[in-house]
A and B are shown apart, each in its own frame.
Chain A
């Protein structure tokens, strides 16, 4: 009796571990691209006159790459505090989209899990996780996948920040590693463009992102995402109307 309980428990641990490691593995290509960014952020924050300790802590308190870059730059320009806070808030607005998009898949979890996974919710953790969930649906241990992706990104971000602060941005050779980031996103988005509304959403978002590139606070990104979502949804609605007799 006891041994079967133990066995069952071990089964849970194995399943959870498997899902976690799968998340880590899916995150690896993104980590390659993120690493140089973390180093550049560390060096930039230090140059901006933020102490080494505070520069490092920003990577775990805010934990959002592009907003940290912009905050460091604003601090260097000695911008007022409320401007920096407002900028961080607006630059990170897109996370609400990710939150909404993942919500149906995390619905059943405890508040503690929701807290943890929300803290780890970045662009890079969101992308592989949502694609996995849309493909396979919710399974008993699927939240461990997001934890694996999110935690490996968090860990890499802390280490690369520290390296940027203490060693600088010297990289061996001059391979543009940061290009791995858009490349990974390309590898993720191309296979999901299976229907016309999805292609239209991608194309319209891409064009809007170009047109709106010069908007402040990276608002172009969120505007582009909204345009893509609306275009996709409207086209899908039309396509399903046509199917009716």
Chain B
């Protein structure tokens, strides 16, 4: 199949999914249970993205202390908890990763 056709169909499906519920929930009332459930989308999705980034190395689980991304991530979580500031969290996490990498 032509790459352009693949891109157009793939792109349309992606757009359709992004648009789907913004459109539908604009026309119909969101049920109360659903509304409550949606409140948990951000913590659930973000954690599901973060945790493998820190713990999976080269396709497998690495829980060792030699996993510098894990240690830098834990330090960043502490920094986020204390500072509640995005810039500080990134700077602390990056610094931790670089320092641990040099050690």
Q: Which of A94, A193, A227 contacts B43 (CB 8 A)?
A: A193
- Interface of chain A residues 168 through 226 with chain B (CB within 8 A): 175-176, 179-193, 197-199, 201-210, 213-214, 220-221, 224-226
Return the contact of A183 from the options B3, B10, B94 (Cβ within 8 A).
B94
B residues 4-45 near A (Cβ < 8 Å) are 4-11, 13-15, 17-26, 30, 33-45
Q: Are B41 and A98 in contact (CB under 8 A)?
A: yes
Q: Is the CB of A57 within 8 A of B50?
A: no
Q: How far is the CB of B68 from chain A (nearest CB, A)?
A: 10
Residue B103, interface by CB 8 Å = no
**How far, in whole Å, are A81 and B20 apart by their CA atoms in the complex?**
24
Q: Please state if B13 and A89 are interface contacts (CB–CB under 8 Å).
A: yes
* A118 CA / B59 CA spacing, docked (Å): 32
Quick one: which of B56-72 are within 8 Å of A by CB? 56, 59, 61, 69, 72
* Contact A62 B10, CB 8 Å, known A190-B80, A225-B44, A229-B40: yes
Find out whether the CB atom of B44 lies under 8 angstroms from the CB atom of A224. Answer: yes
Annotate B57-92 by CB proximity to A: 1 below 8 A, 0 otherwise. Answer: 001010000000100110011001100111101100
A114 within 8 A of B: yes
**Cβ of B13 and Cβ of A88 under 8 Å apart?**
yes
Asked if B90 and A184 sit within 8 Å, CB to CB, the answer is yes
Residues from chain A with Cβ under 8 Å of B11 in the complex: 61-63
CB-CB under 8 A from B22, the residues of chain A are 99, 102-103, 106, 114, 117-118, 121
Give the interface size class of chain A.
35 or more
A121 engages B18 (CB within 8 Å): yes
Find out whether the CB atom of B77 lies under 8 angstroms from the CB atom of A186.
yes
**Bound: A231/B28 CA distance, A:** 26
Out of B5, B41, B47, B54, name the residue touching A100 (CB < 8 Å).
B41
Q: Which residues of B contact A115 (CB under 8 A)?
A: 19
Name the segment of A8-16, A127-135, A155-163 touching the other chain: A127-135
- The yes or no answer to A101 lying at the interface (CB within 8 A) is yes
* A85 at interface, CB cutoff 8 A: yes
Q: Is the CB of B43 within 8 A of A95?
A: no
Cβ distance A56 to chain B, nearest Cβ, rounded Å = 11
Q: A101: nearest residue on chain B (CB-CB)?
A: B41
Q: Is A54 in contact with chain B by the CB < 8 A criterion?
A: yes
A210 to B52, Cβ gap below 8 A? yes
CB B65 to nearest CB in A, in angstroms, measures 18
| Besides the known contacts A62-B7, A210-B61, 14 further A-B residue pairs in the complex with CB atoms under 8 A apart | A62-B14, A75-B6, A89-B17, A94-B45, A101-B41, A104-B38, A106-B22, A114-B26, A118-B23, A179-B69, A183-B73, A207-B51, A220-B52, A227-B44
Give chain B's interface residues, CB within 8 Å of chain A: 1-11, 13-15, 17-26, 30, 33-56, 59, 61, 69, 72-73, 76-77, 80-81, 84-87, 89-90, 93-94, 97-98
Instruction: List 5 A–B pairs whose Cβ atoms lie within 8 Å, in order of A's numbering.
Output: A117-B22, A130-B42, A201-B44, A220-B52, A232-B43
